[in-house]
Amino acid sequence: MRPLNEKEKEEYVFRVFQSIAGGYDGANQRISIGAHMRWKRRAARALCAMLPDGCSILDIGCGTGDMLRIFSAERPRARLTGLDFSPNMLSVAEDRCRGIEQLTLRQGNAMALPFSDGSFDGACMSFALRNTADYSRTLREAARVLRPGGVMLVIDSFVPQGRLVRPFYDLYFSKLMPLLGGGFRRRREYDWLTRSTREFISTDRLRDLMGEAGLTSCGGKAFMFGACAYVLGRKNTEGDSFDADI
């Protein structure tokens, strides 16, 4: 597939997630051999540990609501907001998050968040940033809606850099993952998830972009030889500078 421009990527990704929403959770379980929920919990706990009780958290690209449910368990008094561009994903999230108090779900674009400056104590993007058309703009928007001192969490898929691991990773993601995720019927949609990871930035570049958005590095962890990682960044207050080392 040829490179997509910004508009084409937005439209293509929208169609993909509209079509796979119903089976997305089961596919994630198969693709990650059940590990993705452990990674999400570790990342969510790291964010929550840096936020006050009764905090407000925005989940950008909330999908079917995994992170919202984890945040609710970790911070029962938190005010949660989930935003996604796919109505079908939000419909699944509404069903799965039923019973969570102080939860709002909204449809919207991660590159133009429908919230005022400084609206949230914390923000999260879970396996969502790589599906946006402009990573820098998305991170700047996330930083904008954080209060000074607020914390941003990004967890996503990355290409491992280890020479011994890379051949096995390439085989799994190019051949096996699309079949595990979508079977023969939805293989093409899950081919996109492979491509989006291959075309995604490195964790070092992610930290750089977060710094450019005004988020000071304050933690992170890699899983499965770097195939998944999370990075935390605190919104700068006056006099702060970005530290790229984690």
User: What is the rounded distance in angstroms from the CA atom of residue 88 to the CA atom of residue 14?
Assistant: 10
Cα–Cα distance for residue pair 182/28, rounded to 1 Å: 10
Give me the tens of pLDDT residue by residue for the chain, a chain 246 residues long: 567 878 889 898 888 888 877 766 666 666 656 688 999 999 999 999 999 989 999 999 999 999 999 999 999 999 999 999 999 999 999 999 999 989 999 999 999 999 999 999 999 999 999 999 999 999 999 999 999 999 999 999 898 776 666 656 665 566 555 555 445 455 565 667 777 888 899 999 999 999 999 999 999 999 987 889 999 999 987 544 333 333
Q: Across-strand partners of 104?
A: 81
Token digits of residue 4? 């997509």
Which 8-state DSSP code applies to residue 174? I
Q: Domain boundaries in the chain? A: 6-235
> What is 204-244 written as a DSSP string?
HHHHHHHHHTTEEEEEEEEEGGGTEEEEEEEEP-TT-----
6-235 in CATH: which number?
3.40.50.150
In the block, tokens 């390439």 appear at 170
Q: Helices 24-32 and 87-96 meet at what angle, rounded to 10?
A: 80
